[in-house]
Structure 1
């Protein structure tokens, strides 16, 4: 897929009806020869719309008006390019815990959670947040994570988590203002509720920081998994991470995670992590598939705001 097609597809699949500002930007970039040439000089893994838009926001650039965005990006491209080369889209959306929870609640308790691609580790606290599945409320913590769930009897208990650890090439620290600024820059402009949720989840993590290890999802996973306490069910999980991993490395990770004790939960685009016999997605907004030990269970939305259970 060309860079222009990637941006146009992102506008249609991810942004329409979700972020009008970013939809306008993505469509404008798709037709902007100047910006396409600049983006094309970056490594393929660094050409993503989310990364470009997040870096421009981090640098104080305009994202509401495509013409102003073009002028800022062209004038400041050396600074933008430098940031895009060293950063990654580490969106740490605590709302994704709402689609992970039904799978976590089914497992033998207590749990030892190990997140691959953990960013700042905000998804390592599913036991500390509260949830609302329609009229069903669970938990009394904060923030409250709303999820429109179809075909699912909502969980009746929170998981019992006794150990939490994360693995990331560049783990972020919620007590570091610069790291939090990057996490906020990755939240789409109109999503005030997600920024508030990020701050609330960051406060939870800062009160009891997880074990975050800088490392590779293949080379360093076994050693970290071995630190999980005896008597707890190890759960290795990841959500919207594998698209950033080259296919051969992705395959090596899948082969490895299947050999580890415990369970494996994935929430990924089916074009990235394939499953046989998937039902058709119920609508164009469901882009990820929740799977437990390789068995698909549900279609989910990218920020955890909805799921359709079929497992």
Structure 2
């Protein structure tokens, strides 16, 4: 796939109906030979649309008007390129806990959670957040995670979590203003509710920080998993992470995680982690596949706003 195709696909598949600003930017970049030539000087993993847009946001540039964006990116390309080379998309969307919860709540507790690609670890607190599945509230406090659910009943409880740890090549610290600024920059322009949710989730994590370990998802996963308490159910999970991992390493990771005790929850793009004979995606935009121990269970929206169950009842 060319870089132009990558930006056009992002506009049509991920941004449409979710972020009009990013849809416009992606379409414009896909037709801009000068910008594309600059982007193509970067390693493939650094050419992502949402990474470029987040870097420009972080630097204070415009991301709602394609003409202004183009002018800023070209005029400030050395600074933009420098940030692109050291940054990665580490969107830490706590809203994804709402689509994980139906699986987590059904597992035998207490749970020891280990997130791969944890960023700042905000998805390690499904037991601390409140939820609203349509007309069904669950828990109290902030943030409140709204999620449309169909095909299964809303979860009736939150799990008991006794250990939480994250593995990431570059863990972020919610008590560091620079790291929080990057997390904020990764949120799409129109999504004020997600910024409020970030602040509330960051406060939860800062009050009881998780164990975050710098490491590789294949080489360092077994050692971290071995630190989980033996009397808890180990749950290794990840959401929208494996697209950043080359295919051979994805396969190596799957082999490692299948060899661990406990359970494996994946919430990934169906083109990245493939399953046979999936049902048709629901309408309304891009969906991930939620799976438990390699068994696909549901379609989920990228920021946790909806889950459509199709697997066996939990």
Shift of 1:283: 1.6
Q: Is residue 298 of structure 1 aligned with residue 304 of structure 2?
A: no
Aligned mates of 1:63, 1:255 — CA distance in 2: 40
How many residue pairs were aligned?
311
Aligned residues of 1:13 and 1:284 also touching (Cα < 8 A): no
User: Which structure 2 residue ranges, 5 or more long, are not aligned?
Assistant: none
Instruction: Provide the residue aligned with 2:121 in structure 1.
Output: 121
Aligned residues of 1:151 and 1:310 also touching (Cα < 8 A): yes
Deviations 1:202-259 (A, max 9, x none): 0000000000000000000000000000110000000000000000011000011000
Aligned mates of 1:151, 1:76 — CA distance in 2: 49
Q: Is residue 235 of structure 1 aligned with residue 235 of structure 2?
A: yes
Query: What is the SS of the residue equivalent to 2:278?
Result: coil
Aligned mates of 1:52, 1:232 — CA distance in 2: 41
Instruction: Provide the residue aligned with 2:264 in structure 1.
Output: 264
Shift of 1:22: 0.9
Instruction: Provide the residue aligned with 1:41 in structure 2.
Output: 41
Q: Is residue 277 of structure 1 aligned with residue 277 of structure 2?
A: yes
Shift of 1:284: 4.6
Aligned mates of 1:52, 1:296 — CA distance in 2: 32
CA-atom RMSD in angstroms: 0.6
Aligned residues of 1:102 and 1:154 also touching (Cα < 8 A): yes
1:1-311 to structure 2, matched below 5 A, reads: 1-311=1-311
Deviations 1:97-151 (A, max 9, x none): 0000000011000000000000000000000000111111101121000001111
Deviations 1:149-187 (A, max 9, x none): 111101101000000000000000000000000000000
Aligned mates of 1:261, 1:200 — CA distance in 2: 33
Shift of 1:198: 0.2
Aligned residues of 1:167 and 1:212 also touching (Cα < 8 A): yes
Aligned mates of 1:142, 1:172 — CA distance in 2: 21
Deviations 1:50-70 (A, max 9, x none): 000000000000111111111
Query: What is the SS of the residue equivalent to 1:28?
Result: helix
Aligned mates of 2:42, 2:19 — CA distance in 1: 25
Query: What is the SS of the residue equivalent to 2:113?
Result: strand
Runs of 4+ in 1 over 3 A off after TM superposition: none
Relative distance call for 1:152 and 1:286 in structure 2 (3 A) is farther
Aligned residues of 1:286 and 1:299 also touching (Cα < 8 A): no
Aligned residues of 2:16 and 2:285 also touching (Cα < 8 A): no
Query: What is the SS of the residue equivalent to 1:52?
Result: helix
Shift of 1:286: 4.0
Query: What is the SS of the residue equivalent to 1:300?
Result: strand
Aligned mates of 1:303, 1:116 — CA distance in 2: 17
Aligned mates of 1:262, 1:278 — CA distance in 2: 25
Q: What's the TM-score once normalised by structure 2's chain length?
A: 0.98
